[in-house]
Amino acid sequence: MNIDTIAAISTPMGEGAIGIVRVSGEDAIAVADKIYKGKFPLTVLDSHTINYGHIYDPQSGETIEEVMVSVLRAPKTYTKENMIEINCHGGLVSVNRVLHLVLNQGTRLAEPGEFTKRAFLNGRIDLSQAEGVMDLIRAKTDRAMNVAMNQVEGKLSQRIQKLRQELLETVANVEVNIDYPEYDAEEMTVTILQEKGTFVQKEIERLLQTAHQGKILREGLSTVIVGRPNVGKSSLLNSLVHENKAIVTEIAGTTRDVIEEYVNVRGVPLRLLDTAGIRDTEDIVEKLGVERSRKVLNEAELVLLVLNQNEPLTDSDLELLKLTEENDSIIIVNKADLEDRIDIEYVRKLAGNRPVLATSLVRDEGVDELEEAIRDLFFEGDLDTGDMSYVSNSRHIALLHQAKQSVEEALGAVDADMPVDMIQIDITRAWELLGEVIGDSAQESLIDQLFAQFCLGK
């Protein structure tokens, strides 16, 4: 158990007008008070107050920063520990100076995610809620944000808890059967096993059905735009970026920070791939060769293939139509404002059941239809994120699959008239697996690993 006091800058690094230094731990308030001058010492102030004052260097006496300091006393805080938040106004340099002063008073720099980890370890939130916090930090669109927020609020946890409760009742029932066989409760036990088991299995299935879309919302769709030179790929990229705010996210990884660019198309976050310059590929086949092109395209989750209506199909067009056959792809016949020289019927035939759309990017025509087609490809109807709805985390998905399997094994064993104590093993296993989703039986190393993925100061 860590009981030392930790500190970090909890606002994004950069130009932000306000920077916040966060301190958490038993000594947080006393520590901050050593470098604070205000109307009253922080140590006597009420909890959940925000106080105007100055931060100064106790060694030189120099005033460093004009600040607002929040005093938050345990246990009603994010970490359930004493907390201080120092709001600085003077940009990155002074935020850093304030942090250093705090660290000089005997606190330790927080590891990435350590504040949230403490919230988890101190029982304020469960693991799926903590993961929701991480998703929230990284959310690309409002919808992804809703999904993450629901998770933080514990909606997924509640559903998991309910399923675990059902399983527990089932186990308890089996237990009675084992302990008091003379009651001949066997028939009843079998019925309960079947009913509850089937219920849990169906519920897990419903959760898993949301997983595919949840994953897209959470991670974005890797997208490539391909086509011959001059067909309008850059124009397409520009109009997608132009109409939809491009979001650049900084993800603090364990080893390095990655910058990714997203475009939010009707709630679907497109992650525009830019490896080996394939984001706007002048001639992917020529550049990479057929084999490598196929590999690159296989990694893309969405391919936008652009053709030019003003020119007859070329071998390159045909090659690309063939290469993208296996992909979720949309064929865009651009330059619809110019003379029609393409055999559109032939294009449709080669396209199979992929959508074929006409656009004139110079006239900004057809882009709405394209955006609708992108959304329809991945989501049926409107996205509903009102309730919990989406399981979006791959760790959860894997655990749910395993839990479902255990329940199914239990149901199979019931059908095969296996002894109830055998069945109990499967049910208990499912109960444990569901527990891992919310961190009930997760091992410590897993927990460390998960929290290490957080940004600093969270």
Q: Does 230 bind Zn ion (CB under 5 A)?
A: no
Q: How many CB atoms lie within 10 A of CB 229?
A: 11
Find the residue with minimal CB distance to Zn ion: 234
Residue 9 counted as an annotated binding residue = no
Q: How far is the CB of 330 from ligand GDP (least distance, A)?
A: 16
Q: How far is the CB of 375 from ligand GDP (least distance, A)?
A: 22
Say if CB 331 and CB 356 are below 8 A apart. Answer: yes
Q: How far is the CB of 229 from Zn ion (least distance, A)?
A: 7
Q: How far is the CB of 434 from ligand GDP (least distance, A)?
A: 49
How far is residue 392's CA from residue 143's CA, in Å, rounded to a whole number?
12
Nearer to Zn ion, 283 or 371 (CB): 283
Residue bearing tokens 């995610």: 113
Could you give the residue ranges of the DSSP H alpha helices within 284-343? 284-299, 315-323
Nearer to ligand GDP, 225 or 265 (CB): 225
Inter-CA distances, 338 with 306, 307, 310, Å: 15, 13, 6
Residue span 126-165 as binding mask against Zn ion, x where in contact by CB under 5 A, dash where not? ----------------------------------------
How far is residue 212's CA from residue 218's CA, in Å, rounded to a whole number?
10
Inter-CA distances, 239 with 209, 215, 236, Å: 33, 26, 5
Q: Does 280 bind Zn ion (CB under 5 A)?
A: yes
Residue 157 counted as an annotated binding residue = no
Residue among 196, 81, 221 at smallest CA distance from 144: 221
Residue 458 counted as an annotated binding residue = yes
- Dihedral of CA 393/241/276/354: which sign? positive
Q: How far is the CB of 231 from ligand GDP (least distance, A)?
A: 5
Cα 137 to chain centroid, rounded: 8
Nearer to ligand GDP, 153 or 311 (CB): 311
Inter-CA distances, 359 with 301, 324, 337, 347, Å: 22, 20, 8, 15
Q: How far is the CB of 140 from Zn ion (least distance, A)?
A: 25
Angle between helices 114-121 and 444-452 (to 10 degrees): 150
Residue 38: enclosing H or E segment and its boundaries? strand 36-38
How far is residue 431's CA from residue 407's CA, in Å, rounded to a whole number?
9
Among 11, 104, 234, 249, binds Zn ion (CB under 5 A): 234
436 contact, one of Zn ion, ligand GDP, none, CB 5-8 Å limit per kind? none
Q: How far is the CB of 231 from Zn ion (least distance, A)?
A: 9
Q: How far is the CB of 301 from Zn ion (least distance, A)?
A: 22
Number of residues that bind Zn ion (CB under 5 A): 3
Residue 457 counted as an annotated binding residue = no
Residue 84 counted as an annotated binding residue = no
Nearer to ligand GDP, 156 or 240 (CB): 240
Residue 250 counted as an annotated binding residue = yes
Phi-psi sector, 252: left (phi>0), alpha (psi -120 to 50), beta: beta
Say if CB 203 and CB 129 are below 8 A apart. Answer: no
Q: Residues interacting with ligand GDP, by CB under 6 A? A: 227, 229-235, 280, 334-335, 337-338, 360-362
337 contact, one of Zn ion, ligand GDP, none, CB 5-8 Å limit per kind? ligand GDP
Nearer to Zn ion, 304 or 427 (CB): 304
Residue 428 counted as an annotated binding residue = no
Residue 415 counted as an annotated binding residue = no
How far is residue 92's CA from residue 36's CA, in Å, rounded to a whole number?
19
Residue 276 counted as an annotated binding residue = yes
Nearer to ligand GDP, 143 or 233 (CB): 233
User: Given the rule CB under 5 A, which residues bind Zn ion?
Assistant: 233-234, 280
Residues flagged as binding site: 22, 85, 124, 230-235, 249-255, 274-277, 334-337, 458
Residues flagged as binding site for K(+): 230, 249, 251, 254
Residues flagged as binding site for Mg(2+): 234, 255
